[in-house]
């Protein structure tokens, strides 16, 4: 009995809905908005060692997987080293990377990936050009800073930092040492988010009446029983500059729905984890990359329904979390924009999303692949799309929201001076103490 071959019909079956039309409109525009690679894979005989970019990875947990895959797929990049405080994780990636390189060789063996326990040893190598920092948030700044001071360019996962002070240090180092740092806010390299930001920037929805975003929520942290530290794990180093806590795998687990992300010691919970994406796009859309909001109000304060931050021009950003049809919603007097991942972009009026920009309008820096953009920037020295200062300013928004939440009161922020106004207690939270011997930033 004949059964139809699914895909043969699937193409025609996949008739576009309204939503798909928007995507198609966007696709049509993509042909004209894809930023060209200055020096793609075929750069002057890409596979010649002198033309390759040598990279090392620090932090071989959940997040590094996508980055490692991406780098292994490139002929102009060579992975030379991996580093993790847990030996088995580093070993797993060493084996995987070597197997990949071996499969392309006659004789089928390759042993050129070094394994490190301390990032200091990896960044000290003179043959590494760039470092991917994929650790939990509390290690981002120290590793990135050390790498830049050692002459490396850095791709650092988001949020860029654990504290605002750390961000200032990273910007300072990047500029003084002439280094490139790309923050891992890869939504900036997505056409839908870029188009949404361009529409806002160019006033297509008129005066902004409100912005809402959904970050979700992590489970509440509970006390965890102490467990035996696994063999091969340097837990003290994993804790690094954060206060000592008894070991429990839940505390350090990489888990998009929990694990270390739940703990304020290592991050800013959802404000950091997803705020680093969505607040970032909002900053971009509003043209606030080199400044930031001035008021931060925690949810529940004097009846405030939603966590809110407010810009000097009065624009309010609310963290709504439920019943929002997209990850970010921009509402204006002339229309509304809804944008999410997976190329979701919807507008009211509908025609807006597919309409091209005219040359005289603001065209935002176009990147369609966050890794390509970083590697491009390494060679050309142009500022990447999520440059260190952008990452720092976005992280600042994340951290100030988290500080206001933890203190249970609103904060006033001076984005020019980068100071909390009139609250010396809260100002203490701009940085955190660092536990020896990991106190050096």
Choosing from 118, 325, 349, 421, the residue that interacts with other proteins (CB under 8 A) is 349
Q: Verify binding: residue 21, other proteins, rule CB under 8 A.
A: yes
The footprint of other proteins on this chain (CB under 8 A) covers a number of residues equal to: 90
Q: Verify binding: residue 355, other proteins, rule CB under 8 A.
A: yes
Q: Verify binding: residue 439, other proteins, rule CB under 8 A.
A: yes
- The full DSSP string for 107-157 is TS-----EEES-HHHHHT-TT--EEEE-S-HHHHHHHHHHHHHTT-EEEEP
Cβ atoms of residues 133 and 121 within 8 Å: no
Q: Verify binding: residue 302, other proteins, rule CB under 8 A.
A: no
CB atoms within 10 A of CB 252: 21
Choosing from 363, 412, 414, 418, the residue that interacts with other proteins (CB under 8 A) is 363
Measure the CA–CA gap between 207 and 123, rounded to whole angstroms.
47
Measure the CA–CA gap between 100 and 387, rounded to whole angstroms.
31
**Phi-psi label, residue 208: left if phi above 0, alpha if psi -120 to 50, beta otherwise:** beta
**Site pattern 368..407 for other proteins (x: CB under 8 A):** --------x--xxxxx-----------------------x
Stretch that binds other proteins, among 87-95, 133-141, 178-186, 210-218 (CB under 8 A): 178-186
Q: Which of residues 50-79 bind other proteins (CB under 8 A)?
A: none
CB nearer to other proteins: give 181 or 215: 181
Choosing from 102, 115, 229, 350, the residue that interacts with other proteins (CB under 8 A) is 350
Choosing from 25, 254, 259, 410, the residue that interacts with other proteins (CB under 8 A) is 25
Stretch that binds other proteins, among 57-65, 81-89, 271-279, 362-370 (CB under 8 A): 362-370
- The full DSSP string for 276-335 is HHHHHHHHHHHT-TTS--SEEE-TTGGG--SEEEE-TTS-EEEE--SS-SSSEEEEETTE
CB nearer to other proteins: give 87 or 250: 250
Q: Which of residues 222-261 bind other proteins (CB under 8 A)?
A: 222-226, 243-246, 248
Closest CA to 152 of 171, 167, 174: 174
- Maximum separation of any 2 CA atoms in the chain, in Å: 78
**Site pattern 184..223 for other proteins (x: CB under 8 A):** --------------------------------------xx
């Amino acid at each position: 009995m004949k059964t139809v071959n699914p895909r043969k019909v699937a193409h025609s079956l996949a008739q576009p809905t309204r939503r798909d039309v928007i995507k198609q409109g966007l696709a049509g525009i993509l042909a004209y908005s894809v930023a060209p690679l200055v020096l793609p894979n075929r750069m002057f005989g890409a596979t010649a060692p002198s033309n390759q970019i040598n990279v090392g990875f620090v932090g071989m947990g959940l997040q590094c997987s996508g980055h490692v895959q991406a780098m292994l797929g490139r002929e102009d990049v060579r992975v030379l080293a991996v580093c993790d405080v847990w030996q088995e994780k580093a070993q797993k990636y060493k084996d995987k990377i070597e197997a990949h390189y071996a499969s392309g060789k006659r004789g089928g063996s390759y042993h050129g990936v070094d394994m490190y326990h301390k990032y200091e040893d990896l960044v000290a190598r003179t043959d590494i050009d760039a470092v991917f920092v994929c650790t939990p948030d509390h290690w981002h700044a120290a590793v990135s800073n050390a790498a830049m001071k050692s002459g490396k360019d850095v791709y650092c996962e988001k949020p860029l930092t654990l504290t605002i002070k750390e961000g200032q240090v990273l910007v300072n180092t990047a500029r003084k040492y002439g280094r490139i740092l790309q923050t891992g806010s890869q939504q900036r390299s997505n056409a839908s988010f870029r188009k949404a930001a361009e529409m806002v920037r160019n006033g297509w929805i008129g005066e902004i009446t409100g912005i809402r975003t959904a970050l979700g929520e992590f489970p509440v942290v509970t006390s965890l029983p102490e467990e035996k530290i696994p063999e091969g794990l340097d837990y003290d180093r994993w804790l690094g500059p954060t206060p000592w806590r008894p070991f429990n795998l839940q505390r350090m687990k990489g888990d998009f729905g929990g694990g270390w992300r739940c703990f304020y010691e290592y991050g800013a919970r959802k404000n950091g984890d997803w705020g680093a994406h969505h607040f970032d796009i909002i900053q971009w859309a509003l043209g606030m990359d080199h400044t930031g909001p001035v008021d931060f109000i925690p949810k529940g304060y004097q009846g405030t329904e939603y966590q809110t931050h407010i810009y000097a021009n009065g624009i309010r950003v609310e963290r709504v979390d439920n019943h929002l049809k997209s990850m970010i919603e921009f509402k204006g007097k002339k229309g509304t924009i809804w944008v999410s991942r997976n190329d979701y972009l919807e507008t009211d009026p509908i025609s807006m999303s597919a309409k091209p920009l005219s040359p005289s309008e603001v065209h935002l820096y176009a990147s369609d692949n966050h890794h390509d953009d970083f590697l491009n920037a390494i060679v050309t020295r142009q500022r990447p799309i999520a440059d260190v200062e952008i990452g720092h300013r976005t992280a600042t928004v994340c951290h100030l929201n988290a500080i206001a939440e933890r203190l249970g009161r609103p904060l006033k922020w001076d984005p020019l001076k980068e100071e909390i106004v009139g609250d010396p207690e809260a100002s203490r939270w701009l940085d955190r103490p660092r536990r020896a011997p990991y106190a050096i930033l």
